[in-house]
A and B are shown apart, each in its own frame.
Chain A
């Protein structure tokens, strides 16, 4: 047991921001993966404007950031935020809200 304060649970602003950014990247991944895997079919599809995409990612990722704000900033915890951001966007897509 190292007792390392950087690995203990507890909310802080840097943690919130890091996990918020990671969740945004998860959100973007959900948006952009079809573009990379299915390049030919999707390139002509209608896309939201870039600022709408950024705003949506920022707002939905807030939920992920609030939930994960008490996790340390390690790659292992950031991946969880990425996954949550991805899942939130997938939920929106499946509900037909986006």
Chain B
């Protein structure tokens, strides 16, 4: 069995809910920092009559940060949805492959989902299923 490769920050031992809670608290802190900075620049602008551009730059930066965060969240959700669809397809393919060749399917069950061999076996299963379907279609004709 291959050693599972390190996948950086995704290998968390804490429950997902705590991670989400920390993320939410950090988001509140981040927004507080951004609002404080813009407010401070605004106070300064009222007195100095020269910081208006700094206020504009700070607001622009805040927008870029928020858009970046939102874009990441959307992209992560899309990836998760895509992965769910692919895994559903793969499970169906594996179930079919298990019917045809039981010894091969058991091997796939024991692998780490992050290892390269896992994907090799999954792709192999998918390819075999596609070939079987093609053969079945040819036979029908």
Contact = CB atoms under 8 A, between A and B. Distances in A.
Given A3-B113, A73-B72, A32 B23 contact: no
Q: Is the interface of B mostly helix, strand, loop or mixed?
A: helix
Nearest to A71: B9
Interface string B107-141: 00000011000000000000000000000000000
B10 interface: yes
B61 A8 contact: no
A22 interface: yes
B34 interface: yes
Interface string B81-114: 0000000000000000000000000000000011
A21 B65 contact: yes
A75 B26 contact: yes
Contact of B76 (A6, A47, A54): A6
Contact of A74 (B34, B40, B50, B72): B72
Contact of B50 (A21, A24, A49): A49
A75 B30 contact: yes
B33 A36 contact: no
B140 to A, nearest CB: 39
A92 interface: no
Interface bin, chain A: 35 or more
Q: Is the interface of A mostly helix, strand, loop or mixed?
A: helix
B36 A32 contact: yes
Interface bin, chain B: 35 or more
A60 B98 CA distance: 59
A78 B9 CA distance: 14
Given A47-B48, A50-B53, A79-B30, A28 B8 contact: no
Interface of A: 1-10, 14, 17-18, 21-22, 24-26, 28-29, 31-33, 35-36, 39, 43, 47, 49-51, 53-54, 71-76, 78-79, 82
Interface of B: 7-12, 22-24, 26-27, 29-30, 33-34, 36-37, 39-41, 43-44, 47-48, 50-51, 53-54, 57-58, 61-62, 64-65, 68-69, 72, 75-76, 79-80, 113-114
Given A25-B37, A32-B40, A72-B9, 9 more contacts: A1-B12, A5-B79, A6-B76, A6-B79, A35-B44, A73-B69, A75-B24, A76-B23, A78-B30
